[in-house]
Chains A and B, each alone.
Chain A
Amino acid sequence: MFRPLALLGLCCLATDPVAVGFGKLAGFDYAEGMTLPGDVTALDEQVVEVRGFLRREVPGSGPLNSFLLVNDACGCTGTPKMNEIVFCTLPDGVTTDEKPGVVTVTGKLYVGEVKEDGVVLMLYQMDADSVK
């Protein structure tokens, strides 16, 4: 379903977990070091569910323990920006197959820049509990 409500910055009804769309996560122009919008930082450490497309961080095959969740089916229509990616990690020993369609990932979301050697590695990371 197209979600112009999320697209236009509207809020969904509060549920547990909180349904979060890329309309909110990616609805601002991200620049490194910026102060993130309040409605995004409010999601920090919340249990959320996000719908999107599962992608590998590096090309390969086989089951995945960690993956990227993005809002682009093809992967051919542009480079996702940092606020257009949720870096998901399943519990140790748990994997998922690479799924071709839309998936819903549920888990605890962490919001904020994670850096290594001065490089922002991720903005949104999730301890994912399930992939459906």
Chain B
Amino acid sequence: MNPVRLLFVLAVALPVAAFWPRGQDPAGADWQKDVDNACRAQRYGMRLAAGRKVAAAGDAAVPAIRAFAKQHGDEQIPMTLVELIAEDRAAGPLTLALLRDWSERREFYWRGSAMRGLALRGPRVGADEQAELRTRFQRFHQDDAWLMRTHARLGSVLLGERSVLGLPEQDPRARTRLHAQLLLQGVVPPLQPLLDALADERTCLGIPWGQNSANEAHKALKQWLGEAHPLAKGGEFADTAAGIAALHEACAAKSGQTLTIPSVRRDEVSGLVGGLEFQSCKHGDLFVQWTDAGALWFGIDAGTSVQIPAARWQELSRERAALPLGGNLGVVICDSMRVKWTGPDVDVRVAPSALPVPVVDWLKRLAAAIEEAGAPRLAADLLEGLDQFAVR
């Protein structure tokens, strides 16, 4: 280019660039508007479309996201946007920094999704970044929130640390998630946990979590098997057992792994009449169910139990029946508590800081009874979960 013309272009362009509005990139995209739509559009489809656009923009849209969060608060950032950014895999420095910030902030509801974003980017970043991510993932391997620790472990395995697959895991949903996510990333883990998930019909407080895990496992297996899927060319299985057997055969043939056909798992504890569910992306989940006879079962799979003495349980049951509960309490964004029992029929969803004092007090007495029954750790877990939901 002619030097004079170049100088003329610079003379015109520089002032224009200086006055270019924040949140708008040189291509003319108004990221502030798109971020606002991604977070606050009334229609889900609009939020999704805007979120995709923002996620695809990578670093260019990050200043607008931060500006939105600063103005409206982190809680106004929807999971949709964080998930879309996580999946897009743009790995510019601003995007990585945003995901790091979100994943570290215990108060950020979607930190597990942000951690997944880092995990998926691990194999694609440079050596220095990978070294930092390795340390970061390890730091969250035992996080209380199952999505957080699962995605941290995912990140480690994707960086080649397969020994992480051997870490203890109490939550069956986490086992399914980790193995399914690995398969979706083209890393073949031991497939037995996914086959086991296919045969899971367990529930908790009426929630068919086993079926949800089965669907998640099947989606991953279906994608990985491709044409080798038993139903790739249509048709139907004769029944559930036949379907699982066919998938077992296909998985064993493609992976070369020695796999066993799982038996269907159904709820093993009968007579459950009530319980509590704390779902917290911040602090981790807690599930408690009980029988009329005062047997308390902890865990989504009712894996641990404690027996409350009969007289104490009768007293607690009388108090519980008198508790003033009805309707839903507070506005739930992510974390929520559920209270469900019979006599009288109660099924209430509670937002953080919205559980009435009488119910909080009753749960504290329940925790005391659990401790006296010889399970102080379970009592402490209950009190810790309760803390987020007690009215303030």
- Using a CB–CB cutoff of 8 Å, the interface residues on chain A facing chain B are 1-5, 7-11, 22-23, 26, 57-61, 68, 71-79, 82, 85, 87, 97-102, 116, 119-122
Counting CB contacts under 8 A, is B15 at the interface?
A: no
The residue in chain B whose Cβ has the minimal distance to the Cβ of A117 is B46
Q: A7-B211, A57-B44 are in contact. List 14 more A-B contacts (CB 8 A).
A: A3-B211, A4-B243, A5-B237, A10-B236, A22-B215, A59-B333, A71-B212, A76-B147, A77-B147, A87-B44, A97-B327, A101-B207, A101-B347, A121-B44
Determine how close the nearest CB of chain B comes to the CB of A55; give it in whole angstroms.
Answer: 9
Contact B46 A8, beta carbon cutoff 8 Å: no
The residue in chain B whose Cβ has the minimal distance to the Cβ of A81 is B48
CA distance A126 to B215 in the complex (A): 23
Enumerate 18 A-B pairs (CB-CB under 8 Å) in ascending A order: A1-B201, A2-B200, A4-B214, A4-B240, A4-B243, A5-B237, A7-B214, A8-B231, A57-B44, A61-B330, A74-B279, A76-B112, A76-B147, A76-B279, A100-B349, A101-B340, A116-B43, A116-B45
**Chain A residues near B237 (CB, 8 Å)?**
5, 8, 10
CA distance A82 to B45 in the complex (A): 8
Determine how close the nearest CB of chain B comes to the CB of A123; give it in whole angstroms.
Answer: 9
Determine how close the nearest CB of chain A comes to the CB of B147; give it in whole angstroms.
Answer: 7
Interface of A is mostly: loop
A2-B201, A78-B83, A79-B84 in contact; A7/B218 too (CB < 8 A)?
A: yes
CA distance A77 to B116 in the complex (A): 11
Contact A73 B212, beta carbon cutoff 8 Å: yes
**Chain A residues near B83 (CB, 8 Å)?**
78-79
Contact A4 B244, beta carbon cutoff 8 Å: yes
**Chain B residues near A85 (CB, 8 Å)?**
44
Contact A97 B236, beta carbon cutoff 8 Å: no
| Most-contacted residue by chain A among B198, B236, B332, B349 (CB, 10 A) | B332
Determine how close the nearest CB of chain B comes to the CB of A52; give it in whole angstroms.
Answer: 10
Contact A60 B347, beta carbon cutoff 8 Å: no
Contact A11 B328, beta carbon cutoff 8 Å: no
A-B pairs, top 10 by smallest CB distance, nearest first, are A2-B201, A121-B45, A2-B211, A100-B349, A79-B83, A119-B49, A8-B243, A4-B240, A79-B80, A73-B207
